[in-house]
A and B are shown apart, each in its own frame.
Chain A
Amino acid sequence: MISALWVMVGISLLLGAVLGYSAIKFKVEGNPLVEKIDAVLPQTQCGQCGFPGCKPYAEAIAKGEADINLCPPGGEEGIRKLAELLGVDYKPFGEGAGPRAKAVAFIDENTCIGCTLCLQACPVDAIVGAAKQMHTIIASECTGCELCLAPCPVDCISMMGLPESIQTWKWPYPVYTLAQPKNPTREMPTS
Chain B
Amino acid sequence: MWSSPFITTPSSVSQIMLRVLIALIPGIAFYVWYFGPAILVSITLASITALATEALMLKLRNRPLKPFLSDNSALITAWLLALSIPALAPWWLVVVGTAFGIVVAKHLYGGLGNNVFNPAMVGYAVLIISFPLHMTHWITPNLLGGTELSFAGQLNYIFYGVLPGGMTLDAVTMATPLDTLKTQLHLGLQVSDIRDMPIYGRLAGKGSEMVAIGFAIGGIYLVFARVVNWLIPAVYLGTLFVVAGIFHLADPVHYVTPLFHWFAGAAMLGAFFIFTDPVGGSTTFRGRIFYAAGAALITFLIRTFGSFPDGVAFAALLMNICVPLIDIWTQPKVFGKKGGGK
Contact = CB atoms under 8 A, between A and B. Distances in A.
A and B touch in the complex (CB under 8 A): yes
Interface of A: 171-172, 174, 178-179, 181-183, 186-187
Given A186-B62, A187-B61, A178 B3 contact: no
19 contacts: A171-B1, A171-B3, A172-B1, A174-B3, A178-B63, A178-B64, A178-B67, A178-B68, A179-B63, A181-B61, A181-B62, A181-B63, A182-B62, A182-B63, A182-B64, A183-B62, A186-B62, A187-B61, A187-B62
Nearest to A187: B62
Contacts of A172: 1
Name the interface size band of chain B.
under 10
Contacts of B62: 181-183, 186-187
A65 B63 CA distance: 42
A172 B1 CA distance: 8
A187 B63 CA distance: 10
A174 B1 CA distance: 8
Interface string B182-193: 000000000000
Contacts of B3: 171, 174
Nearest to B67: A178
Interface of B is mostly: loop
Given A174-B3, A178-B63, A178-B68, 12 more contacts: A171-B1, A171-B3, A172-B1, A179-B63, A181-B61, A181-B62, A181-B63, A182-B62, A182-B63, A182-B64, A186-B62, A187-B62
Nearest to B66: A178
Contacts of A178: 63-64, 67-68
A32 to B, nearest CB: 27
A176 B39 CA distance: 39
Interface in B55-97: 61-64, 67-68
A182 B67 CA distance: 13
Interface string B1-27: 101000000000000000000000000
Contacts of A182: 62-64
Nearest to A181: B62
A174 B4 CA distance: 12
A170 B61 CA distance: 31
A187 B61 CA distance: 7
A145 to B, nearest CB: 33
Nearest to A173: B1
B327 to A, nearest CB: 21
A182 B62 CA distance: 6
Nearest to A186: B62
A184 to B, nearest CB: 8
Nearest to A179: B63
A182 B63 CA distance: 6
Kindly list the 8 A-B residue pairs having the minimum CB-CB distance in the complex, ordered from nearest.
A181-B62, A186-B62, A187-B62, A172-B1, A178-B67, A182-B62, A178-B64, A183-B62
Contacts of B63: 178-179, 181-182
A170 B64 CA distance: 29
Contacts of A174: 3
A146 to B, nearest CB: 32
A158 to B, nearest CB: 32
A159 to B, nearest CB: 28
Nearest to A185: B62
Nearest to A172: B1
A133 to B, nearest CB: 47
Nearest to B63: A181
Nearest to B1: A172
B97 to A, nearest CB: 27
Nearest to A175: B1
A174 B63 CA distance: 18
B153 to A, nearest CB: 45
Interface in B144-163: none
Nearest to A182: B62
A178 B68 CA distance: 9
Nearest to A180: B63
A182 B64 CA distance: 7
A186 B68 CA distance: 19
Q: Which of B3, B62, B67, B68 gathers the greatest number of chain A CB atoms within 10 Å?
A: B62
B72 to A, nearest CB: 15
A179 B67 CA distance: 10
A13 B3 CA distance: 71
A37 B292 CA distance: 43
Contacts of B67: 178
Contacts of A181: 61-63
A179 B62 CA distance: 10
Interface string B23-36: 00000000000000
